[in-house]
Structure 1
């Protein structure tokens, strides 16, 4: 679809190619407000009936909850491997390491958990494959169903100062599938990336389409790039587990905010009221007004640096004297209320009671967490399914991109692999240390190995974080050594476990 210059858009969703309910992005915008703990005003009447306002003292539990879930789902101890393909495994891990993938993915996962999802897009820069990270509010499906997004638009915003005024630029990057004629006139499926740049002097609107050369950052971009031989889109959308119950036919996920706004509001209101009571509950002692005289003729009776004493407006000083007017702060009542709402939140977002609140049963050991089949463990398992799916798709997209020789300065592909006849078998190993007692697992696995019910390869994978290929290499080295030469070899020889081959 060719769009001429001069086209104007108020919102990105006004583009006819974007097929999603605009309310989804209003929802995501509200989610961002919760995640960033955006300032909120509280209006009240003071003792004289005057209308006042102040900034609400909020507890950013959205950030805390998203961070907690992200850290137990994916962290730097995770391992990603390509099964039965050492060359592809080495290449993928080099690309991921060069992009600081483990740290970046955990950080983006945190935002995605709060907002409902995020996207990743590999691209070529200086003959290297880089990974761009796309927030939920920057990703717009074009063609999709509730399970898969095959086409999408990605928005990137830039602010530039022009003639002492801010100009707001939005680059829209459309990823679509199309049919084009081949060299012999045959029809073939191709992958088309289209770039469009828009400018406005108001941040709230997208604006009017302008040439890509308007900004130096985009002057070398071609308006359209056509690539064939792709098996999947050059973007990966991570969707949070569970159905979107806000917009039923939307392919976008929902974040932890969307179904817990009322509980989050209750937590923030309770915390704000408590902090306001603490502020108003500071020590106050009423004294006769005469005792507060402080001028050249009267020396101060009290320390001039403190604010404890307050003059009483009365002519009858003797009727009051010095009186403590401090009110007790209702700490226990507010603690109980906050604890109640935190438990509600834990249940709402799928975490075990006691994650944020005070559990009546006290702290649980890792073994107890698993044996109790806790909500946190189940929630983590659901997220891991989606994480493994997204990482597998990303690895495929990286290998596809690496095979496009025209994208590299030497005209040669960075890495070649036949994805049609040999799809990647991506295996992710996640750190279960939060839930699994590693010493206990090692002890039990040694018994299972001795009984011949577990292969040596599986033993190494489970207890030493090896990939299956690395485990097989290690076993080959052990096989070449005399069993008595090594303690581990002697143990394996004694136990008589199978070799798994």
Structure 2
């Protein structure tokens, strides 16, 4: 369909292989309904692990995230415009983690900058620079009305300081074809769009691509990102199958009583009627009562514990493949016991989160740059410089216990006041913390004086 979008002299090749396209489709399906193996034919139900994994990474990445744009009235305008976008940033990052990436594309509406989030299966890259940064992309939008499907393809391309935007619209009666070209004005929602536009004197595209920062093992030659659960696809499929066996263990092991047919009630049509107590409890057998005991109880021993242990082992494997700490998905009571193993497990998760945060910060820098250029182009706010500060809260990506221990060493060395340590790590109020520090200092024979330290820092504050 994309080959029909542009005229021959402006047509661009889509920089996405069939392998990569198929992988994105698979990740999207796993995220939405569990994957192609979860259907009525197989009888398998998804445990929603792709959703849980993507959501957990998005939570860890954005939990204490703060973005401040300062420096001028232009900076204040940009801060106000990005505020609503940041409220929902966790949702956008979850989509990006699930499908390998997401594009943030700002545009102007009613003298305000609105940010559109384009998920991984709704954009098609057309060019990358030598560093692997996306410089061209086609964004596809569809509107369905009755029997008509309207498709708009928006092509962005950056090259040598010039940014080109092309909009093309099509109408079709079938999802199998892009249809025939129509004017943008034929669709009310697109009537205000310009078919062709060029913007000069810029040094990067006016969109931002957030990419999951891990090696692309689906297509080693593609600069596109991969899902956070890409390396665990087969294990997730096996886990869903094992969970199906786990459920069947309970269903197949339900208590039942086998009774001879001639001891049950026979209907006029010759069928057997179960007692009213519970039809699941009694099962008829085509034998006579004198040929067997009055009844036999069917109550096999369940193997749920062994199945659960196997499933827990699979969850640990998935945690390893996705870069999560043990105990995130698996049973936290059944994790590595030694301090070294626990630290290594946590550090794996911290490192993964930190890498994603760096990638997101780079994408937000590109987004804010694009917003600044649009503000200049449409004269939305006075020109001026801006500085962007990011706060990710180091306690999320560093071991909290290690950080606590490090600051206690500062306290004992006289480099950090005891009362501030109590506020930071023991959650005392400043007033109570200073009272405790003063009391501790009065009982010390050591020349190191907590009271003096607390007073000095209080005065400085």
Q: Normalising to structure 2: TM-score of the pair?
A: 0.80
2: CA distance, partners of 1:375 / 1:256: 14
- Write the distance in 2 (CA, Å) between the matches of 1:317 and 1:401: 91
Determine which of 347, 350, 358 is the counterpart of 2:323: 350
Shift of 1:226: 2.3
What is the aligned counterpart of 1:417 among 378, 384, 393?
Answer: 384
Of 382, 387, 390, the residue aligned with 1:428 is 390
Name the CA shift for 1:147/1:450 in 2 (closer, same or farther; >3 Å): farther
Structure 1 or 2: more helix by fraction: 2
Output the CA distance in 1 between the equivalents of 2:281 and 2:111.
Answer: 68
2:297 to 324, 349, 352: 324
Q: Secondary structure at the match of 1:151?
A: strand
Query: CA 1:259 to 1:368, structure 2 compared with 1: closer, same or farther past 3 Å?
Result: closer
The answer on whether the counterparts of 1:34 and 1:257 sit within 8 Å (CA) in structure 2 is no
Instruction: Say whether the 8 Å CA contact 2:57–2:353 is kept in structure 1.
Output: yes
1:147 maps onto 2:132 in alignment: yes
Q: Which residue of 2 aligns with 1:474?
A: none
Say if 1:120 and 1:493 are closer, same or farther in 2 by CA, change over 3 A. same
Residues 336-415 of structure 1 correspond to what in structure 2 (within 5 A)? 336-359=309-332, 374-404=347-377, 407=378, 412-415=379-382
How many residues were matched structurally? 423
**3-state SS in 2 of match to 1:92:** helix
Partner of residue 247, structure 2: 275
For 1:451 and 1:227, locate their aligned partners in 2 and report how far apart those are by CA, in whole Å.
54
Q: Quickly say closer, same or farther: Cα 1:210–1:297, change in 2 above 3 A.
A: closer
Contact 1:39–1:56 (Cα < 8 Å) also in 2? no
Q: Which residue matches 2:281?
A: 308
Distance 1:271 1:131, change over 3 A: same
- In structure 2, the CA distance between the partners of 1:313 and 1:252, relative to structure 1 (3 Å rule), is same
* Structure 1 residues without counterparts, runs of 5 or longer: 1-5, 44-51, 180-188, 419-423, 454-458, 465-489
Contact 2:166/2:197 (8 A) holds in 1: yes
CA deviation digits over 1:57-82, x for unaligned, max 9?
2211111011111101113x321123
One of 73, 76, 81 as aligned partner of 1:90:
76
Tell me the equivalent position of 2:429.
none
Q: Structure 1 residues 324 and 266 mapped into 2: Cα distance closer, same or farther (>3 Å)?
A: same
The 5 Å alignment of 1:64-79 reads 64-75=52-63, 77-79=64-66
1:80 aligns with: 67
Tell me which residue corresponds to 2:16: 20
Alpha-carbon distance in structure 2 between the residues aligned to 1:284 and 1:219: 68
CA-based RMSD of the aligned residues comes to 3.9
- Check whether the contact 2:37–2:237 (CA below 8 A) recurs between aligned residues: no
2:112 is the alignment partner of 1:128: yes
Q: Using structure 1 for the length normalisation, give the TM-score.
A: 0.74
Unaligned runs of 5+ in 2: 426-451
* The one of 35, 39, 55 aligned to 2:43: 55
| Aligned counterparts of 2:459 and 2:282: Cα–Cα separation in 1 | 80
